[in-house]
Amino acid sequence: MSDESKAPGKPEETNSITRRDFFNEIAGGALTLAGIGAAVVTVKYASPNVLFEPPTTFRAGSPDDYPVNSVTYLQDQQVYIVRTEKGMWALSAVCTHLGCITQWKPESDQIACPCHGSKFQRTGTVQAGPAPRPLPHFSLVLGEDGALVVDKLEVVKETEILKV
């Protein structure tokens, strides 16, 4: 092909960008990124900084679910439901030494901590080990529909037993 298709005096079209256009593109991109970053920070700042924790009150089923003279571990709540002839109570399964999860040992009629060897009676009383305090009792009541309701935020005396 020849150069006859070019009009005389008309600047040649090219796909190259000028140095000025290049820096304008860079500056525009940087400003866009900064704007997005500022928007994200603003939205995060404006949203409430709330720690969502699981509810401390939970329903533990019917008293009939727990046979007399039983200790039942509710794994999802880390709570024991104990039932004797005297009544029922809810006991924390978290060791009072350093917070390990204890285990019910029916063969020895004890709640034992696997970490440092503390042992508790089913009442929560310390029998052995480094645990400095008994396992706390949580509030256990019967709801209006007859279901057991445990409140892990309300620690009660060992003598508060639910008569069923």
The residues that touch ligand FES, with contacts defined as CB under 6 A, are 95, 97-98, 100, 113, 115-118, 129-131
Give whichever of 100 and 164 is closer to ligand FES, judged by the CB atom: 100
Q: Which helix (H) or strand (E) holds 97?
A: none
- Tell me how far, at minimum, the Cβ of 51 lies from ligand FES, in Å: 25
Give whichever of 115 and 149 is closer to ligand FES, judged by the CB atom: 115
- Tell me how far, at minimum, the Cβ of 29 lies from ligand FES, in Å: 55
89: left (phi over 0), alpha (psi -120 to 50) or beta: beta
Using alpha carbons, select from 158, 115, 153 the residue that is nearest to residue 135. Answer: 158
CA dist 49 to 39, 40, 42, 54, 79, Å?
Answer: 17, 15, 13, 16, 29
- Tell me how far, at minimum, the Cβ of 39 lies from ligand FES, in Å: 47
Give whichever of 48 and 132 is closer to ligand FES, judged by the CB atom: 132
